Amino acid sequence: MGVATVEDSPSQWSGNQSLAALERGVLLQATGDYALSARDLSDADNNLEIIDLSTDAIGQIGEYIYSGSASQYKASPIERLSMNALNMLNFLASGDLTGAAVEARRFTNARDTLASVGIEAASYYGAYLTGFIFEWLGEGNRALRYYEEALAAGGLTGLAEPIARLASLNPYRGPRIQSLLAASGLAEGVKSGRTSEILTVVALGRVPYKVPERIPLGAAVGIAGAYISGNPKILERSVLKVLVYPELTASQSRARNASVYVDGAAVPLELVSSLGREIRSEYELIKPRIIGSAVSRMITRAVAAEGIRAAGNQAGDGGAIIGLLGALFAEASLVALDKPDTRSWTFLPDRISISRSPVQPGAHEVEVRVKGIDDVRRVPVNVPANGFVVVVVTLPQ
């Protein structure tokens, strides 16, 4: 990041610095330094752009993907929403409900901005945390709307009691909430009073990251289809028969599953978001456009090479050979400049799971056992009356 210590931030932002802030923010959260993590994620939020997946895909996406590391890193929509959701955890773990509410509103604004340009990006754990925040702010109807969205992740029986309690006081009913209330048998008779609780959030593993991948040119043309600009037939004379593009590959994550105990008793831990799967799905939607952009750029290079070849043929006296060599050199040189940008947010957690435990006010111990790396975290907490404590365990391993 071009700074001397972890306490420092850049005075000016460019190139890879916003991506470095994202990476450092996750690592700081993993070490429990929530204040510095919040600073880094907020700085990244203020300096990041979002890659536009909705317009001029062949031009803008290709220009970014093949512009190299000199350009500012652009986050995907899922990365953008995950940044706000992770930062909510920093404020919640610090007991700062006001700061968490600010981040929840930034999450909502980012999601609404994406939706306004036709990009629907889901963040189930972001919606869950936003619902939790508004629940504790006393905005029950608003909390229910976010819980309705979070329920799209499937199951989440841990939300049954909080939703039933909120539903007894607030009118909003989405179809998922109605189904949950009916299935749980809590539609009537639940106590409306608030109790003390512990919310435990476990973020494990790392999402897939980009690597350069080689693909035969014919296969690339087949994948890209209508996203190709120009006539691909000209590539039949190209000496280059392989295209290089950025592809996702799985991270070698060892931390995959966990179990949570409160005062020695096991409590349910539910998977809310599988970010790795969501990022793969998001990337598969734009991959034909990325490959189409790469093929289109190769066509442009091939057209230029044909011009050099034709000029050599007209020159005579060995000009054809010179033209051929010049064409090959020009085409190879220009294509060599098209190095795919494989920068990735490599420490973004893969799996986000949440546990809710109603408890009596006072001292408790939360224990998180992580399978795969034999890590055990024991966190003593003191839960206030009619209040909450949030325990965050982030392990990007």
Q: Which two tokens stand for residue 88?
A: 């909510």
Domain edges within the chain:
195-396
pTM: predicted TM-score of the whole model, two decimal places: 0.87
Per-residue model confidence (pLDDT) at position 102: 97
Q: Determine the Cα–Cα distance for residues 36 and 24; give it in Å rounded to an integer.
A: 9
Q: Determine the Cα–Cα distance for residues 321 and 129; give it in Å rounded to an integer.
A: 67
Per-residue model confidence (pLDDT) at position 362: 98
Strand order in the sheet with 351-358: 270-274, 351-358, 197-204, 388-395
Tens of pLDDT, residue by residue over 19-33, are: 999 999 999 999 999
Nearest to 391 by CA among 353, 361, 348, 345: 353
Tens of pLDDT, residue by residue over 86-136, are: 999 999 999 999 999 999 999 999 998 888 777 778 899 999 999 999 999
CA triplet 314, 319, 322: central angle to 5 degrees?
130
Per-residue model confidence (pLDDT) at position 253: 85
Per-residue model confidence (pLDDT) at position 320: 45
Compute how many other C-beta atoms are within 10 angstroms of the C-beta atom of residue 63. Answer: 13
Residue at token pair 């050199």: 329
**Ranges in the chain, pLDDT < 50:** 56-57, 312, 318-334
